[in-house]
Chain A
Amino acid sequence: MHRPRRLRDLLGACLAGALSVSAAAADPATVPFTDRRDPPSYRVLTAEERDRYELGQTVFNTSWVPAGTPRAGRRDGLGPMFNAASCDACHNNGARGQGPAQSGPAPVGLVIQLGAGDAADPVYGHVLNTSAIEGHAPEGTVFVAYTERRGRYPDGREWRLREPRYELRALRLGTIGKHSLIKPRLAPALFGAGLLEAVPDAAIIALAERPQNGVRGQVSRRDGLIGRFGWQADSVSLDEQTARALSREMGLTSRGAERDDCGGADAACQRAPDGGQPEVSDDFFDAMLAFQRWLAVPRTDVDEATEADGAALFARTGCAACHRPDLPVTGAGPVRRIAAYTDLLLHDLGPPLADRGADGRPVPTLWRTAPLWGLGHAVSSGRPLALLHDGRARSIEEAVLWHDGAAAPARQRFGRLSHAERNRLLDWVALR
Chain B
Amino acid sequence: MKPLTVLALARLTVVLGVILPAATFAQDGCDGFKWDNVAAERALFATAAEDVRAGTDPGTAPTIVPDRLYRAALSPQETLRYAAPPSKKMLADGASGGLLRFRVARAGLYRVALDAGFWIDVVADGTAIPSVDFGGSPGCAAPRKIVIYELPAGRDLLLQLTGAVSTQVQVALTAAPDASP
Q: Tell me the bound Cα distance from A102 to B19 in angstroms.
A: 9
> A162 touching B7 by the CB < 8 A rule?
no
List CB contacts (< 8 Å) of B1-23 with chain A.
Answer: 1-7, 9-10, 13, 15-20, 22
> Does A364 lie at the interface of the complex (its beta carbon under 8 Å from any beta carbon of B)?
no
Q: How large is the interface on A (under 10, 10 to 19, 20 to 34, 35 or more residues)?
A: 35 or more
List CB contacts (< 8 Å) of A344-363 with chain B.
Answer: 350-352
**A104 partner, pick from B16, B20, B138, beta carbons under 8 A:** B20
With contacts A37-B88, A65-B94, A131-B139 taken as known, whether A149 is within 8 angstroms of B9 at the C-beta atoms is: yes
Closest chain A residue to B116, Cβ basis: A63
| B107-130 Cβ-contact flags toward A at 8 Å (1 or 0) | 000000000011100000000001
| A378-419 Cβ-contact flags toward B at 8 Å (1 or 0) | 000011000000000000000001101000100110011000
| A72-101 Cβ-contact flags toward B at 8 Å (1 or 0) | 111110000000010011000000001011
> A73 touching B34 by the CB < 8 A rule?
no
> Does B43 lie at the interface of the complex (its beta carbon under 8 Å from any beta carbon of A)?
no
> Does A163 lie at the interface of the complex (its beta carbon under 8 Å from any beta carbon of B)?
yes
> B34 touching A352 by the CB < 8 A rule?
no
Q: Pick from A7-15, A42-50, A138-146 the stretch touching chain B.
A: A138-146
> B138 touching A62 by the CB < 8 A rule?
no
Query: In the complex, which residues of chain B have a beta carbon less than 8 angstroms from the beta carbon of A351?
Result: 7
> Does B31 lie at the interface of the complex (its beta carbon under 8 Å from any beta carbon of A)?
yes
> A70 touching B19 by the CB < 8 A rule?
no
**How many contacts A-B (CB < 8 Å)?**
130
> Does B55 lie at the interface of the complex (its beta carbon under 8 Å from any beta carbon of A)?
no
**Shortest Cβ gap from A161 to chain B (Å):** 7
Q: Tell me the bound Cα distance from A153 to B31 in angstroms.
A: 37
Q: Tell me the bound Cα distance from A138 to B9 in angstroms.
A: 38
> B20 touching A145 by the CB < 8 A rule?
yes
Query: In the complex, which residues of chain B have a beta carbon less than 8 angstroms from the beta carbon of A162?
Result: 18
Question: Interface size of B by Cβ–Cβ distance < 8 Å?
Answer: 43
> B90 touching A61 by the CB < 8 A rule?
yes
> B117 touching A85 by the CB < 8 A rule?
yes
**B90 partner, pick from A36, A58, A412, beta carbons under 8 A:** A58
Q: Tell me the bound Cα distance from A184 to B171 in angstroms.
A: 33
> Does A334 lie at the interface of the complex (its beta carbon under 8 Å from any beta carbon of B)?
no
Closest chain B residue to A362, Cβ basis: B7
Closest chain A residue to B87, Cβ basis: A37
> Does A105 lie at the interface of the complex (its beta carbon under 8 Å from any beta carbon of B)?
yes
**Shortest Cβ gap from A242 to chain B (Å):** 17
**A150 partner, pick from B13, B22, B132, beta carbons under 8 A:** B13
Closest chain A residue to B20, Cβ basis: A103
Q: Tell me the bound Cα distance from A231 to B89 in angstroms.
A: 28
**Shortest Cβ gap from A45 to chain B (Å):** 15
Query: In the complex, which residues of chain A have a beta carbon less than 8 angstroms from the beta carbon of B130?
Result: 36-37
With contacts A130-B138, A351-B7 taken as known, whether A148 is within 8 angstroms of B18 at the C-beta atoms is: yes
Closest chain B residue to A350, Cβ basis: B7
Query: In the complex, which residues of chain B have a beta carbon less than 8 angstroms from the beta carbon of A57?
Result: 89
**A62 partner, pick from B6, B20, B31, B91, beta carbons under 8 A:** B91
Query: In the complex, which residues of chain B have a beta carbon less than 8 angstroms from the beta carbon of A163?
Result: 10
Query: In the complex, which residues of chain A have a beta carbon less than 8 angstroms from the beta carbon of B10?
Result: 149, 163, 352
> Does B52 lie at the interface of the complex (its beta carbon under 8 Å from any beta carbon of A)?
no
> Does A147 lie at the interface of the complex (its beta carbon under 8 Å from any beta carbon of B)?
yes
List CB contacts (< 8 Å) of B129-181 with chain A.
Answer: 130, 132-133, 135-139, 163, 165
> A75 touching B9 by the CB < 8 A rule?
no
> B32 touching A105 by the CB < 8 A rule?
yes
Query: In the complex, which residues of chain B have a beta carbon less than 8 angstroms from the beta carbon of A149?
Result: 6, 9-10, 13, 15
> B15 touching A148 by the CB < 8 A rule?
yes
**Shortest Cβ gap from B5 to chain A (Å):** 7
Query: In the complex, which residues of chain B have a beta carbon less than 8 angstroms from the beta carbon of A383?
Result: 133
> B25 touching A147 by the CB < 8 A rule?
no
> Does A117 lie at the interface of the complex (its beta carbon under 8 Å from any beta carbon of B)?
no
Query: In the complex, which residues of chain A have a beta carbon less than 8 angstroms from the beta carbon of B138?
Result: 108, 130-131
List CB contacts (< 8 Å) of A138-182 with chain B.
Answer: 138, 143, 145-151, 153-154, 161-163, 165, 167
**Shortest Cβ gap from B157 to chain A (Å):** 18
Q: Tell me the bound Cα distance from A387 to B4 in angstroms.
A: 20
**Shortest Cβ gap from A213 to chain B (Å):** 17
List the 6 closest A-B pairs by CB distance, nearest first: A73-B93, A71-B94, A151-B9, A72-B94, A145-B19, A105-B32
Q: Could you name 6 residue pairs across A and B whose Cβ atoms are closer than 8 Å?
A: A58-B90, A89-B117, A107-B32, A161-B6, A382-B132, A383-B133
